[in-house]
Structure 1
Amino acid sequence: MKTPFVTKDQLEAIAAQYPTPFHIYDEQGIRENARRLRKAFAWNPGYREYFAVKAAPTPALLKLLHEEGCGCDCSSMTELIISERCGITGENIMFSSNDTPAEEFQMADRLGAIINLDDLTLVDYLERSIGHVPEKICCRYNPGGVFTLGETREGFQVMDNPGDAKYGMTRAQIAEAFTRLSAMGAKEFGIHAFLASNTLSNDYYPALARILFQLAAELKAETGVHITFINLSGGVGIPYRPEQPANDIAVIGEGVRRAYEEVLVPAGMGDVALYTELGRFMTGPYGHLVTRAIHEKHIYKEYIGVDACACNLMRPAMYGSYHHITVMGKEDQLCDHKYDIAGSLCENNDKFAVDRMLPKIDMGDLLVIHDTGAHGFSMGYNYNGKLRSAELLLKEDGSVELIRRAETPEDYFRTLVW
């Protein structure tokens, strides 16, 4: 059972001012979650969370998280600009990109961001692009092969395929990159890696940390460089299905601490700072897409048509992802009707749910689609001329703030040349 952070009466009042569909975020939930994360890694004095801007590139959310001590993980020019305009600059930005144009490296350097190099060829490319090598630099590692965690407390395996990913350097390449960067003037080095996505396991981060800690100790011995930070990136997931257990960030932080003390401290590296880049974990559960049932169709299946579509939330159409749905005001009714919940795009995959058991839905009912606070609005698009919805923030005092207005047809036409 997933419980919305707003009531039916609240949503009806909000919808009277801001018509559906809209995304709404829970300020209190986001702040409390950021504080739990910071507490879990408080044992590491240099710890910093770099929120993945791609997950929710909305200034109000970036500023909120920055107030809670988070920086920004950026991967493009526009994300760098958003961060700068939010007053987030310098080493509060981690610039992790791939296939990077020179002008984006130049922008990152101008802002004083920590640059994370994705490939060995970027060592020389970076120097040509900005005229020097920064004193503080990071390289992204890809161990190759298939990453498996084995049985977890939830009783299933975590498995991903780094060897099939376009990101990062091989073991030999990162050693060469460190050696060359050192010769070119770099003084402080970091390691970054991402092995698996949306893991529901308290064991994933400690396992990743141990891999990177061992690599750091080896690279220090081989190259003699000063490794000052290790970025564990993202991958800590959220339970999209109500029966799935949530990660315990306190347990995760303790597991990383044990690996740190067992690997880095004996290697004389007990001063290494840890960074994370959590997007989905930070904001995902604290966002809802709110939509209204406007049509019903009875053919070979039962369909409920809503006023949102895949342009508002792409994940179900793109990945077949599950997002829980609450029919507001009917939370306690039996889920005895089987529906496909569909949008209005000219694509048959424009469905938020397929064969979903829900209470009887009447026209005008409000539906909350859960866990859209990350990779929800941010993956929106304008197919069929659909317009992006508004974004709202439910403040800690219960008031609602418009943090991004809905697009208008004039916004859609603005870039056209007639």
Structure 2
Amino acid sequence: MKKFPFEKEIIRLLDNTPFYIYDEKGILKSLKKLQSAFFWCDFKEYFAVKATPTPYILKILGKNNCGMDCSSLVELYLSEMVNIIGENILFTSNNTPLKEYKKAYDLGAIINFDDIGHINKFVKKIGIPKIASIRYIPKESYGTDIIGDPLNSKFGMPFDNIIEGYKKMKELGVKRFGFHSMLVSNTLEEDLIEKNTEIIFRTVKRISDILNIEFEFIDIGGGFGIPYKPEDKELDIDKLGNEIRELYEKYFIEFKPKIFTENGRYITGSHGYLITKVLHIKESYKTYVGVDASMANLMRPGMYKAYHHITVLGKEGKNKKYDVVGSLCENNDKFAIDRELPELEEGDILIIHDVGAHGHSMGFNYNGKLRSAEYIYDGKDIKMIRRAQTLDDYFSTIQGGDIYV
């Protein structure tokens, strides 16, 4: 049974629903577990900023030897805001405007190219990157149910393009090289990550032999999953680390590349909660529980039919089936369908678990919904780390002559 770790502490905030709250100690514990699993190599986690782009969280991760995996101009500025710069940033972007590449270059970031065409443009318009890598997408990989069939992926390059890309970078004067691939998403199966990592290691060794490149780092991507359902097993990160170590020792004898990962969900996912209040209970063909949060606060259930566990503050048991829904003018605005919960009444507080990644960050303003606040509990105090959006915020960008009466 999933438990909410600080029920008493949030009582004073319950007039402010809906809101997000994170467990700071839990986040850092997950980071330390990941770092410990790769103790045997020169390892660095580059946190996927897109998962939880909240400066306070980025800052505490940076203080604990975590880099930032950035994919946009704003994410680069967020990283700079918390003084994470230089090669502590890995910039991986797709269909990237030059001004975003320029910002990454100015910050001294590692540049990860997604296409050959970007390389010439970058060097001609911006300069020679101090260190660069290329994103690889093989014809086949393992566990692609979520991330998709590689042959239909808009990300990365096939092997022949990779070879051409590294040749081009050498000709243009790049001296330091890395390698990148992201082949799986949200998996709890160690063997899938291991099999994909072997594809990556084997490819790096092959390129090194062909082009005489000693790669400084290999980014094996992210995709390490978390147990969303109470019955799900947790990823055995120590076992995974040992399995990757065996592969590393098999493939890399002449040179010893650093190992990077770029997890978001594994670090913060299990340590975030969306707190929402029951506004109305409707009896129709089934029983609907209407809450003050909506898909605008948490998109994953409506977008992916993703499961998020729900508990009720101060209540236990499974007495009745409900659909838990928001107020958007869309029928997929549902957090749960036919979910067994304690018998509910107006005013009850629902806690939606495991929303610490791809939760608040994917929020939106459809139907004029305002973005919710974010709080964090550090073991002593609850701090607001992002205030709720206001009506003034929403209307501040509107232009258009004499639209106001």
- TM-score calculated relative to the size of structure 1: 0.93
- Match of 1:241, SS state, is coil
CA contact (8 A) 2:307 2:336 kept: yes
**Structure 1 gap ranges (5+):** 151-156
- Residue 340 of structure 2 is aligned to residue 357 of structure 1: yes
CA contact (8 A) 1:187 1:225 kept: no
d(CA) in 1 for partners of 2:134, 2:46: 16
- Residue 232 of structure 2 is aligned to residue 244 of structure 1: yes
- Residue 48 of structure 2 is aligned to residue 63 of structure 1: no
CA contact (8 A) 2:142 2:195 kept: no
- Residue 178 of structure 2 is aligned to residue 197 of structure 1: no
For 1:376, which of 341, 345, 359 is the aligned residue? Answer: 359
- Match of 2:190, SS state, is coil
For 2:377, which of 394, 397, 404 is the aligned residue? Answer: 394
- Match of 1:237, SS state, is coil
State the identity %.
46
d(CA) in 1 for partners of 2:200, 2:275: 41
In structure 1, the residue matched to 2:259 is 274
- Match of 2:260, SS state, is strand
- Match of 1:121, SS state, is helix
Opposite residue 173 of structure 1, the aligned amino acid is: N
Distance 1:159 1:388, change over 3 A: closer
In structure 2, the residue matched to 1:114 is 110
Opposite residue 44 of structure 1, the aligned amino acid is: C
Q: CA deviation at 1:212?
A: 1.2
Note the aligned Cα RMSD (angstroms): 1.5
- Match of 2:204, SS state, is helix
Distance 1:13 1:307, change over 3 A: same
- Residue 397 of structure 2 is aligned to residue 415 of structure 1: yes
In structure 2, the residue matched to 1:139 is 134
Opposite residue 62 of structure 1, the aligned amino acid is: L
Q: CA deviation at 1:205?
A: 2.6
d(CA) in 2 for partners of 1:344, 1:38: 42
CA offsets, 1:80-122, max 9 Å, x none?
Answer: 0111011010000000000000101100000000000001111
For 2:41, which of 22, 44, 50 is the aligned residue? Answer: 44
Paired residues for 1:17-416 under 5 Å: 19-45=16-42, 47-130=43-126, 132-145=127-140, 147-148=141-142, 160-265=148-253, 268-269=254-255, 271-331=256-316, 333=317, 335-397=318-380, 399-416=381-398
Distance 1:55 1:158, change over 3 A: closer
CA offsets, 1:326-349, max 9 Å, x none?
Answer: 011113x2x120100000111111
CA offsets, 1:232-257, max 9 Å, x none?
Answer: 11111111111111102111111111
d(CA) in 2 for partners of 1:148, 1:310: 31
d(CA) in 1 for partners of 2:347, 2:278: 5
- TM-score calculated relative to the size of structure 2: 0.96
Opposite residue 346 of structure 1, the aligned amino acid is: C
CA offsets, 1:253-291, max 9 Å, x none?
Answer: 1111111011122xx12x210000000111000000000
d(CA) in 1 for partners of 2:142, 2:271: 29
CA offsets, 1:48-94, max 9 Å, x none?
Answer: 10000000000000001111111110000010011101101000000
- Match of 2:6, SS state, is coil
CA contact (8 A) 2:128 2:172 kept: yes
Distance 1:348 1:413, change over 3 A: same
In structure 1, the residue matched to 2:6 is 6
Opposite residue 327 of structure 2, the aligned amino acid is: S
d(CA) in 2 for partners of 1:381, 1:290: 17
Q: CA deviation at 1:159?
A: 8.7
d(CA) in 2 for partners of 1:11, 1:306: 18
- Match of 2:216, SS state, is strand
Opposite residue 45 of structure 2, the aligned amino acid is: E
CA offsets, 1:318-366, max 9 Å, x none?
Answer: 11111110011113x2x12010000011111101001111110111111
Q: Which consecutive segments of 4 or more residues in structure 1 shift more than 4 A?
A: 157-160
**Structure 2 gap ranges (5+):** none
d(CA) in 2 for partners of 1:205, 1:68: 25
Opposite residue 118 of structure 1, the aligned amino acid is: D
Distance 1:111 1:35, change over 3 A: same
Distance 1:184 1:159, change over 3 A: closer
CA contact (8 A) 1:204 1:236 kept: no
d(CA) in 2 for partners of 1:255, 1:13: 46
d(CA) in 1 for partners of 2:388, 2:143: 43
- Match of 1:166, SS state, is coil
Q: CA deviation at 1:158?
A: 9.2
Q: CA deviation at 1:207?
A: 1.8
